Amino acid sequence: MGRPPCCDKENVKKGPWTPDEDILLVSYIEEHGPGNWRSVPVKTGLLRCSKSCRLRWTNYLRPGIKRGDFSAHEETTIIQLQAVLGNKWAAIASYLPERTDNDIKNFWNTHLKKKLKHEIGAFQNDGCSSSSQPSIPRGQWERSLQTDFQMTRKAFSDALSVDIKHSKHSNGLSSFYSMPSIDTQSAIYAASTENISRLLEGWMSKSSKSGGSSVATAYTSSNGVSLDAYEPFLGLDSPMTDVSHSQSVNFEENITIFQDESKPSFSLLEEWLLESESQEFFDMPYQDTSHQW
DNA sequence: AAGGGGAGCAACCGCATGGCA
DNA sequence: CTGCCATGCGGTTGCTCCCCT
């Protein structure tokens, strides 16, 4: 017997959410807080699947979500994190707390993938690479990869510029995101009210012309973000071990993969980062080598 | 002006995971 | 230990809008 459906599909509404439904959902969450999603459709009278309610909240109504164009910095961060973490959108989103994993995933699939493909294509057409005989000087690849590595580290450092170790053991994620020390639930509620007004604004502007969404000013709540999965990366609760990997050796391995598959692959770099305990990763002095290119 | 096609994005689907009885 | 349930996550779909012909 297979898994029972999460809800009665017969009486479940699908498709875009209406303003009324949004208000109903936000009002309920303001009162009861997020969670216990199964009971949400029952208690609110929404003809929606519990999953749909959760998704609508986490991807759209949740306080602190920034919408609209991605900045150059966000774009760079996503590219670098994707290179290291792969398609772990939730993990990537945890470094960009104002963006949802869905947004990042969409942005990657619709913009960045094409952009990178185009840039790699242009790079190969420049005569730097050929399908039959890779002709890139090994030293050049190594420097290039090292630059990627440095940039990734910088992205991590930027994203983690707050004191994570302290925040984890004091006020959890709230302080991680530099929230003022106020009651978290109140923050969620206040921000939700802001979201409702934003929604109304959005609908008003949408009715005149399908306008873009306004930028959220509310700070991020703790919903939907879990640090636990990334503890190895953050060096939290991880025993410090002697890490004496040779960078050059690992870069060589990555260079080989890159050349063989004619596309960037950082799987070994990722493995190395995970294996080598992240602390050293962050403790290494950052050297901006990008100017060399 | 119409319609065809592509891009962007919200939402859905189904599997994975973790907690709990 | 096992099974159930709630939630999380990533891939995919489908709708809407916009641009081009």
Helix, strand, coil content of chain A in percent (nearest 5): 60, 0, 40
If you search the block for the tokens 């002095």, which residue do you land on?
Answer: A285
A17 is near strand B: CB distance < 7 Å: yes
A38 is near strand C: CB distance < 7 Å: yes
From CA A266, how far away is CA A198, in angstroms rounded? Answer: 40
Closest protein residue to B15 (Cα–C1'): A3
Closest-lying nucleotide for A110 based on CA to C1': B8
Q: How far is the CA of A249 from the C1' of C7 (A)?
A: 41
Closest protein residue to B6 (Cα–C1'): A110
pLDDT at A42 over 50: yes
Radius of gyration of chain A measured on its C-alpha atoms = 22
pLDDT at A228 over 50: no
Cα angle for residues A212, A216, A217 (degrees, 5° grid): 145
* Three-state SS letters, A157-219: HHHCCCCHHHHHHCCHHHHHCCCCCCCHHHHHHHHHHHHHHHHHHHHHHHHHCCCCCCCCCCC
Q: Where is pLDDT greater, at A51 or A214?
A: A51
Q: Considering only A37-41, A109-113, A160-164, which range has the smallest mean pLDDT?
A: A160-164
Residue A156 is predicted with a pLDDT of 57
Closest-lying nucleotide for A56 based on CA to C1': B11
Considering chain A, what is the average pLDDT of its residues? Answer: 57
What sign does the dihedral A27-A31-A37-A40 (CA atoms) show?
negative
Q: How far is the CA of A6 from the C1' of C5 (A)?
A: 10
Tell me which residues from 227 to 246 on chain A have a beta carbon below 7 angstroms from nucleic acid strand C: 229
A26 is near strand B: CB distance < 7 Å: no
From CA A110, how far away is CA A115, in angstroms rounded? Answer: 9
From CA A51, how far away is CA A41, in angstroms rounded? Answer: 10
Q: How far is the CA of A104 from the C1' of C19 (A)?
A: 25
Which nucleotides of strand C are protein-proximal, with an atom < 7 A from a CB? 5-12, 15-18
pLDDT at A119 over 50: yes
The band of A9, judged by pLDDT with boundaries at 50, 70 and 90, is: low
Residue A54 is predicted with a pLDDT of 87
* Tokens at A202, concatenated: 């959005």
From CA A221, how far away is CA A237, in angstroms rounded? Answer: 24
The band of A81, judged by pLDDT with boundaries at 50, 70 and 90, is: confident
Residue A123 is predicted with a pLDDT of 62
Closest-lying nucleotide for A103 based on CA to C1': B9
From CA A160, how far away is CA A164, in angstroms rounded? Answer: 7
Q: How far is the CA of A206 from the C1' of C19 (A)?
A: 20
Residue A153 is predicted with a pLDDT of 61
pLDDT at A227 over 60: no
Q: Where is pLDDT greater, at A190 or A30?
A: A30
Q: Considering only A45-49, A117-121, A222-226, which range has the smallest mean pLDDT?
A: A222-226
Closest protein residue to C14 (Cα–C1'): A15
From CA A118, how far away is CA A113, in angstroms rounded? Answer: 8
Q: Considering only A14-28, A132-146, A178-192, A210-224, which range has the smallest mean pLDDT?
A: A210-224
From CA A204, how far away is CA A8, in angstroms rounded? Answer: 34
Residue A2 is predicted with a pLDDT of 33
The band of A149, judged by pLDDT with boundaries at 50, 70 and 90, is: low
Residue A229 is predicted with a pLDDT of 29
Q: Where is pLDDT greater, at A11 or A146?
A: A11
- Predicted confidence (pLDDT) per residue in A252-281, tens digit: 333 333 333 333 334 444 444 444 444 444
Q: Considering only A40-44, A126-130, A153-157, A172-176, which range has the smallest mean pLDDT?
A: A172-176
